[in-house]
Amino acid sequence: DAGVTQSPTHLIKTRGQHVTLRCSPISGHKSVSWYQQVLGQGPQFIFQYYEKEERGRGNFPDRFSARQFPNYSSELNVNALLLGDSALYLCASSSTGTGGLNQPQHFGDGTRLSIL
């Protein structure tokens, strides 16, 4: 079975631009979460979506938005890019929205976003 897939793998943008990152969860998984991992740090939670509804949001500005589609894939959008947005963006899926104890989150390989 395919794991969590993310696209693109790498992306270079300039300040002020907009970016869209995509994620396809493991088949059958209905929850998708997004994390930002700055170099040398642990991942930071951005969003969780479950059954196409936002379930949780981390401490990120409104420039960050996301959505989940009927097939449970998801997009993360970032507007007005800043240099500080340079990071690895990770997508994780799980089978339920709050079942982490026995349904751990499975991560994709991430999208490396560089802002010039």
Partner 1 sequence: GNSVTQMEGPVTLSEEAFLTINCTYTATGYPSLFWYVQYPGEGLQLLLKATKADDKGSNKGFEATYRKETTSFHLEKGSVQVSDSAVYFCALNRREGGSEKLVFGKGMKLTVNP
Q: What is the DSSP letter of 101?
A: T
Site for partner 1 in 54-73 (CB under 8 A): 55-56, 58
Q: In the complex with partner 1, which residue's Cβ is closer, 38 or 80?
A: 38
The position carrying tokens 């998984």 is 29
| Binding status of residue 50 toward partner 1 by CB under 8 A | yes
30 near partner 1 (CB under 8 A): no
| Binding of residue 25 to partner 1 (CB under 8 A) | no
> Is 4 one of the binding residues for partner 1 (CB under 8 A)?
yes
Q: Which amino acid is at 66?
A: A
Binding mask 70-109 for partner 1 (x = CB under 8 A): --------------------x-x----xxxxxx-xxxxxx
Q: Give strand pairing partners of 107.
A: 92
Can you tell me the distance from the alpha carbon of 92 to that of 3, in angstroms, rounded to the nearest whole number?
A: 10
Q: Residue length, the chain?
A: 116
For residue 1, the Cα-to-chain-centroid distance in whole angstroms is 21
